[in-house]
A and B are shown apart, each in its own frame.
Chain A
Amino acid sequence: MNTAQPPAIHPPGRHFRTDGFDAGSFFFTGLTGLATFLILAILAIILGNVVWEGWGSFSWRFLTGGTERDMFSVENAGVLPMILGTAARVILMTIFVIPIGVITAIYLTEYARSGSLWTRFIRGAVNNLAGVPSIVFGLFGLGFFIAFAGQNLDRMFHAGAEPHWGKPAILWASLTLAVMTLPVVIVATEESLKAIPSGLREASLALGATKLETIFKIVLPQALPGIMTGGILAVSRAAGEVAPILFTGAAYYMASLPKSLTDQFMDLGYHVFILSTQSPDIERTRPLLYATVLALLLLTFTLNIVAIFVRARMRRKMRAAH
């Protein structure tokens, strides 16, 4: 390095010194850039492999068929019951998780004093909830919703008979997933609430509105895109989760679609697991397996990309507002 010359100006985006070749910079930038590229390449390989192998058997019949005749061959089996089951459990989940998550976020941003003990406790709990292993959520669903809540409901309303509530069901699976995705909704809603300029709140107060009116009529409508992002992210996370529903509601095979909240259901993610591990002849199942994975990926990725776009638009609007 030639230190005698005056230091070169480094405009953003220029990594190399202009006063000659800098081997260290070249090496370091190259190495970190390579790592970034490698991660993206792995992502591309996984997606490419699934699309390449799955596209051929991704037919209308596959999307609208069931597994009555044969579970493991692409000629006979379809995924409609699994898609409907997954959709049902995810929609049910949003009904539980969105109100609770949004209200918690409202408390955290609009009411809580940022240093207070309650706030720190709540934030700590939210962060920890996000890190609890998904299989532990499954155990929790079994231990709390089924063994405790369900069996007590049975004791009260279905004495002596076959268990009605105290068994795996779509309701319990949805509730378990709602607990799991609660942090996702809280964090996304909080972010969007914080992005709303405080001038709006003050203007509303100045016009004579109360705090609660301000929150529900001024702040929340503005935060709607953020709440939607949270909901979409929660749905996309939950749609692909298998471990929490293993013991709380997913069924290996069901002759009919779930008709009530206490029925079990077939699930797309669980079906991927079944097809890849239980098939008697993996080579014959392979096309079906790839098509099923493609269906699952299409579902979660579409949701993810929509969420990214909504969020990006929101951020741009926010920057313009500030």
Chain B
Amino acid sequence: MNEKQTDAARSWESLRKGHQSRPLEWLVERGIFLVSLSAIVMIFLIFAFVGREAWPVVAGKMNSSSVQTVIPVAEMDKHSPAELRAYLGLTKAKFDSMDLETRKLMMEIKVEADKEKPVDKDAPVNTTSWHYLFRPHAWTGYEKPSYIWQPVSLIHKYNLVPLIIGSLKATLVALLFSVPLALAAAIYVSQLAPAWAKEWLKPAIELLAGIPSVVLGFFALIVMATVLQKVFGYESRLNAFVAGIALGLAIIPVVFSIAEDALTSVPRSYTQAALALGSSRWQAAWKIVLPAAIPGVFAAVVLGFGRAIGETMIVLMASGNASIVSGSFFDSTRTMTATIAAELAETVTGGHHYRILFLIGALLFIVTFAANFAGDMVMHRLKRKLEGKA
């Protein structure tokens, strides 16, 4: 609320006179309150329903091993119908509609299939358990333990580390590129620019936010990738660097807006006092206003990080999408968001691949939630402090 909040304004908020004699208005006002909870409900629903699809993996109820212990057809009667149904992988309706002969046939097919099972030391491994999600493993054909994301193969390898590193790489490039630019622009627009320029500079920079991310992705893929490759001469045309720069373009308006907001909320009296003591405008901006607004700069970076790590289309189109673990920014990378976007359509609903992708989504949600929360807190505190001192 602004400083104009007088007692009169406060009593308007808590005004409850109208509905005492009018039950209908009371009802409508209750309704307004209930609808206003929608944002809270939505946050809760997002967490609940993304989490619901991911839960079986977290709880260790999924099994992605490529071999099963075989039940011989003769021992069919020793098992309960529920066990058999799970063994055959059928829905209840389908299982019930089959007669005994058909079930027997299904059992025989299972036995036959077992004879042709893959010969691989990792075949019985449940790759959705925590160890295989985050720790390196020496898969068949690999000499050393390594982090592999290879969901569509004989052995489903679901190691999330390459994707996390990929996301962090692109985000780091984006922040290194965009934060200095956006911060300098924020200082210029809020402190140094002449008044007539301020008027249109801010909306002009924020116009960058109006470019859809798919267009930035397109631009990175078609134009920037070629130009940057010519300039820097690296090998892989699409990589974390190209994606990061395009990602940086997407978060410049975010970082700029928040930093500009923080700098502008520093009371004018700070600048005026500095100028009165004989400093020049840039000294006042650099030594007085910026230090006072530094938590806001931090908030801008944190919120920019949250936006960058969650951005999908740009990295999907410009990062090359190869899940390589390497320290180089010029290697093709696969990020968490791009993996979800690229793979979800081809998964079996309710299967382990599907659930792992939801798990990645839940991780993203938690990370961005934490970043937003921290950024908002810092911004809120800063504004209160500055208003209190004003």
Q: How many Å from the CB of A234 to the closest CB on chain B?
A: 13
A10 touches B275 (CB 8 A): yes
Q: Residue-by-residue, is B192-216 near A (CB-CB < 8 Å gives 1, otherwise 0)?
A: 1111100001011101101111111
Which residues, 310 to 333 on B, are CB-close (under 8 Å) to A? 310-313, 316-317
A240 touches B214 (CB 8 A): yes
Which residues, 46 to 103 on B, are CB-close (under 8 Å) to A? 46, 49-50, 52-53
B9 touches A198 (CB 8 A): yes
Q: Is B280 interfacial (CB 8 A cutoff)? A: yes
Q: How many Å from the CB of A15 to the closest CB on chain B?
A: 5
B345 touches A246 (CB 8 A): yes
Report chain B residues within 8 Å CB of A126: 39
Q: Is A211 interfacial (CB 8 A cutoff)? A: yes
Q: Which applies to chain A's interface (DSSP): helix, strand, loop or mixed?
A: helix
Report chain B residues within 8 Å CB of A108: 36
Instruction: Identify B35's interface contact among A38, A100, A205, A282, CB under 8 A.
Output: A100
Bound-state CA distance A114–B215 (Å) is 40
Bound-state CA distance A198–B12 (Å) is 9
A114 touches B50 (CB 8 A): no
Given contacts A147-B349, A272-B218, contact A140 B211 (CB under 8 A): no
A212 touches B188 (CB 8 A): no
Q: Is A55 interfacial (CB 8 A cutoff)? A: no
Looking across the interface, which residue of chain A has its beta carbon closest to that of B307? A131
B40 touches A125 (CB 8 A): yes
Bound-state CA distance A132–B43 (Å) is 9
Q: Is A256 interfacial (CB 8 A cutoff)? A: no
A110 touches B40 (CB 8 A): no
Report chain B residues within 8 Å CB of A138: 340-341
Q: Is B2 interfacial (CB 8 A cutoff)? A: yes
Given contacts A179-B42, A212-B28, contact A114 B364 (CB under 8 A): no
Bound-state CA distance A31–B192 (Å) is 11
Given contacts A134-B310, A136-B50, A211-B17, contact A104 B35 (CB under 8 A): yes
Report chain B residues within 8 Å CB of A213: 18
Given contacts A39-B182, A133-B337, contact A124 B376 (CB under 8 A): yes
Which residues, 85 to 111 on A, are CB-close (under 8 Å) to B? 99-100, 103-104, 106-108, 110-111
Bound-state CA distance A149–B81 (Å) is 30
Number of A-B residue pairs, CB cutoff 8 Å, is 307
Q: How many Å from the CB of A304 to the closest CB on chain B?
A: 4
Report chain B residues within 8 Å CB of A305: 207
Stretch of B119-127, B151-159, B219-227 contacting A (4+ beta carbons < 8 Å): B219-227
Q: How many Å from the CB of B283 to the closest CB on chain A?
A: 7
10 A-B pairs with the lowest CB-CB distances in the bound complex, closest first:
A240-B212, A133-B310, A210-B18, A35-B184, A107-B36, A32-B188, A7-B278, A131-B372, A304-B210, A28-B282
Q: Chain B interface (Cβ within 8 Å of chain A)?
A: 1-2, 5, 8-10, 12-19, 22, 25, 28-29, 31-33, 35-40, 42-43, 45-46, 49-50, 52-53, 180-182, 184-185, 187-189, 192-196, 201, 203-205, 207-208, 210-219, 221-223, 249, 252, 256, 275-278, 280-283, 285-286, 303, 306-307, 309-313, 316-317, 337, 340-341, 344-345, 349, 357-358, 361, 364-365, 368-369, 371-373, 376
Q: Chain A interface (Cβ within 8 Å of chain B)?
A: 3, 7, 10, 12-17, 22, 24-25, 28-29, 31-36, 38-40, 42-43, 46, 49-50, 99-100, 103-104, 106-108, 110-114, 121-122, 124-140, 142-144, 147-148, 179, 182-183, 186, 194, 198, 201-202, 205, 210-213, 236, 239-243, 246-247, 269-270, 272-273, 276-277, 282, 286, 289, 293, 296-297, 300-301, 304-305, 308, 312
Apart from A201-B12, A273-B313, list 13 A-B contacts with CB within 8 A.
Answer: A104-B35, A113-B10, A131-B307, A133-B312, A133-B368, A136-B364, A144-B49, A242-B212, A242-B313, A246-B344, A272-B215, A273-B316, A286-B222
